[in-house]
Amino acid sequence: MKNNRTCKLAVLLFVVTAMTARAQNFPSNTDESKVPPYTLPDVLQMPIGKTVINSNQWLHAQRPYIYHLYEKNQFGRYPATKTISRFKILETDNQALDGLATRKQVRIYLHPADTSVYMDVLLYLPNAVKTPAPVFVAYNFSGNHTITAEKNVLLSNRWMYFRGKGVVNNRATEAARGTDTASWQLKTILSKGFALATAYYGDLEPDTATGYTTGIRTTLKEVLNIQPDEWCTMGAWAWGLSRIADYLQTDKNIDAGKIALMGHSRLGKATLWAGASDPRFALIVSNESGEGGAALSRRWYGETVQIITAHFPHWFVAKYKTYGDDVTKLPVDGHMLLSLMAPRPLYVASAVEDTWSDPKGEFLSAREASRVYALFGKKGIDTSSMPPLNTPVGETVRYHIRSGKHAVTLYDWEQYLKFASEQFGLRR
Ligand code: GCU
C-alpha cells in the first residue's frame, strides 16, 4: 500500500517536472520574476580549456571557432563569391527630395547569365557632402517604394510577406508608395551627412517556408556551389547585404571604409549574421532583433527557440530547431553572435513595449559581448543594471531601451547617426 502511494507520487512528480521543463521552453514568459537561473556559455572559454586573454587569440582562434558554431547550428554556410555581381544604374536624379539628395536606383545582377536574378538598391546621397559619404545599409520590409513617396522610385513587383496598406494579393500597388516613411527618416539621415542604401529583403528570397524554391538558394545553387539546405533564408538575406557592399565599393560618392549596417527585427537577425560574416561592414546596429539575434535564448523571456523555429522554420538551418526542447544544449547564445562584431562599433537597441524581443536579454547580451571588446582596449557596456528609458549607455558597444513599441523611430535613427558620427570620427 505504502509502496503503491510512493510509486504514484513518484509518477506525479515526474509528470509535473516534465511539464514544468516543457512549460519553460514552449510558452513564452513575460514575467521577470519567473525567469529561472541560467548559465551562458563563456564567450572567452576556448575549446581547449584555456581562457582567451588577448585580441590575437580572439581573432585567430576563438572567433573562427565561434563563427563556425554559428555556421553549423544556426545560419549555415555563407557562400564565398568571386564578385559575380554586375551593376546597372537604372535611374539617377541629382535633385531628389527637393535638392537634398542625389537618388540612384541600381540593379545588382546576381547571376552571370540569368538576368531575372537581381536585387534593386535605392541609394540616396547627401548633396551637401562633397567628399565620399559614409553610408547606412538597411533592408526594408515592403519594397523600396515604401520608404519614400517619391514617384520615380520603382514599385516592387515581388511577392510581399507583409500585407500592409496598398498590398493586394501579396503584391504592392501604387497605394503602398510612401507608407513606411516613419521608419526611415530620410531627411534626418541625409542632413547628418550620411547616405542611405536600401533594398527589399524579398528580392533575395520570399519570406516563407517554400520561398527558397524561387529565391537565390535555388537560382544561385550552381553558381555558388551550395545546396539550399546548407544555408537558410536568414543566410540568403545576409548574403544580399554583402552584395550591396560590393556595389557601394564601386561608387565613388561612397566612403567604402564607412559602411554601417542597420537591421530591424527579423532583418536585425540577418544584419547580425552579415556583420559577423563580412568585415567590410564597419559598424553594426541591431534594432530589436530579439530571439536568434541579440537576445539571450537561455533567458526564458519573450520568444523562444522552439517558438521561432515552429513559426519560421525557413529562417535558420534545420539543426537550430533541434535545440527547441533544451536550449542549454545550444552551443552558442546571443552574446556570442554580438561578439563576432568586435572590435567594430556595435549598437544594440530595444523598445520597452517590445517584450517579445526581450529587452533585458538584449542588454545583458551586449554587456557580455563587451568582454570581447575589452580585449581590444575598447570600452563597451560596463553597467550591470538596465539603463533608464531613452538613455543610451556604453561606448564602442552601446545600448538603449526606448519608450514605445517594436519599430524603428526618429529617436532610434538619431542615436545611430550620433553613434556612427562619433565612431567614424566625423564632425556632424
Ligand atoms: C515575429 C518573430 C520575431 C521577428 C519579428 C519581426 O514577431 O517572432 O522573431 O523579429 O516577427 O521580424 O517583425
**Quick one: average pLDDT of 357-367?**
98
Which position among 183, 265, 357, 365 bears the catalytic label? 265
| CA 120 to centroid of chain Cα atoms | 19
The Cα 29–Cα 26 span in angstroms is: 9
What is the tens place of the pLDDT at every residue in 259-278? 999 999 999 999 999 999 99
pTM (2 decimals)? Answer: 0.94
Assigned domain for 34 exists: no
Residue 174 sits in a domain of what CATH number? 3.40.50.1820
Assigned domain for 213 exists: yes
Count of domains in the chain?
1
Q: Tell me the residue range of the domain where 397 lies.
A: 68-423
Assigned domain for 20 exists: no
Best residue for ligand 1 mutational test, from 266, 286, 337, 348 (most atoms within 8 Å of Cβ) = 266
Assigned domain for 98 exists: yes
Q: Can 335 be counted among the known catalytic residues? A: no
With a cut of 90, say whether residue 409 has pLDDT above it.
yes
Q: Can 68 be counted among the known catalytic residues? A: no
**Quick one: average pLDDT of 174-196?**
98
Minimum-distance ligand 1 atom for the alpha carbon of 265? 10
The Cα 195–Cα 207 span in angstroms is: 27
DSSP notation for 316-332: S-HHHHTTSS-GGG-S-
Residue from 270, 293, 273, 278 nearest 362 by CA: 293
Assigned domain for 94 exists: yes
What is the 8-class DSSP label of residue 245? H
With a cut of 80, say whether residue 11 has pLDDT above it.
no
Residue from 423, 92, 110 nearest 253 by CA: 92
Minimum-distance ligand 1 atom for the alpha carbon of 267? 12
Assigned domain for 106 exists: yes
pLDDT at residue 352, as a whole number: 98
Neighbours of 105 (CB within 10 A): 18
Residue from 258, 412, 278 nearest 350 by CA: 412
**Quick one: average pLDDT of 113-125?**
97
DSSP notation for 39-60: -PPPTTB-TTSPBP-SHHHIII
pLDDT at residue 260, as a whole number: 99
The Cα 317–Cα 336 span in angstroms is: 18
Assigned domain for 21 exists: no
Q: Which helix (H) or strand (E) holds 10?
A: helix 2-25
As a whole-number percent, the residues of the chain with pLDDT over 90 amount to 91
Neighbours of 165 (CB within 10 A): 14
pLDDT at residue 1, as a whole number: 40
Give the C-alpha distances (Å, rounded to integers) separating 122 from 26, 108, 125, 137, 194: 40, 11, 10, 10, 14
82 falls in which pLDDT band (50, 70, 90)?
low
With a 6 A CB cut-off, is 266 part of the ligand 1 pocket? yes
179 falls in which pLDDT band (50, 70, 90)?
very high
With a cut of 90, say whether residue 22 has pLDDT above it.
no
Assigned domain for 118 exists: yes
